[in-house]
Amino acid sequence: MKLQELNSNSAASAKKALKEHFGTTFNVEKLGLFETKTMLSKVKNLLKEQKTTGTSNQQNPSYMKLVFMEQTLVHHYGELKTLPMYNPRIVVENEEVEKSQVVLAAQEMVDSIQKMIEEVSDMLVKELPAVVDGVNSEFGTTEGEQFSGQVSEALSSLQAALTQSKTGLQGALGTITGQGASFDAEPTDMGSDLTGTEPTDMDAEMPPEDETELASLEEPEEEPIGAIGRSKR
């Protein structure tokens, strides 16, 4: 086999030439990246010596054997470099993809609980009133009130528990993403309905937030005559 044929063919041709012309079975598949690089360096050094001594020609079997070995090793080394285990960039990318998949799986759990919360909310707002109307008409208003109170309490407790569970899952998700807990759930007002508490006088008489209004509230209605350093309004 001539060098022109070697350059136009793949490394498989080089291995075939080694076996047919030199009786050498050159199995490089079991060589790792370091072993391949080391052997390739030795072959290149031998080829350099051949060129230095002037024996680098196609009639020299020793030179041609080294050429075929170099071709096979170069091809094998290039294949190894593309493998993830020898490519740090690919390793990092694969790790990021795997992490993203785990985060998405955890987020799906949070989303599932959110769907449950929405379903329970629909039961309270949409389905329960219709069922209560049916109980009132079929069994009586007293039974309807009892049914409405018991079901409302049960569904409200379930909604509160689901909301708390969602918050816990979001906190756990934050620990693996490094972003902390994400509290994006809409607060429910079930607690005020259950307890029946009304706003206190303190809540109703909160002072205005505007600083100008606060300043006017702190000043007396009339200022003493002749006050020093105070301009008359």
pLDDT in tens, 181-213: 444 444 444 444 444 444 444 444 444 444 444
The 10 Å Cβ neighbour count of residue 230 is 10
Average pLDDT estimate for 40-48: 89
Residue 12 confidence (pLDDT): 74
Q: How far apart are CA 133 and CA 202, in angstroms?
A: 38
* Highest averaged pLDDT of the listed ranges 43-52, 82-91, 132-141: 132-141
pLDDT in tens, 55-112: 777 778 888 888 888 888 888 888 887 776 676 666 666 678 788 888 899 999 999 9
Extents of the domains making up the chain:
3-86, 91-181
- Token reading at 103: 């985060």
Least confident segment among 10-24, 37-51, 121-135: 10-24
- pTM, two decimals, is 0.42
Q: How many residues does the chain have?
A: 233
Candidates 61, 69, 67, 64; CA nearest to 25 is 69
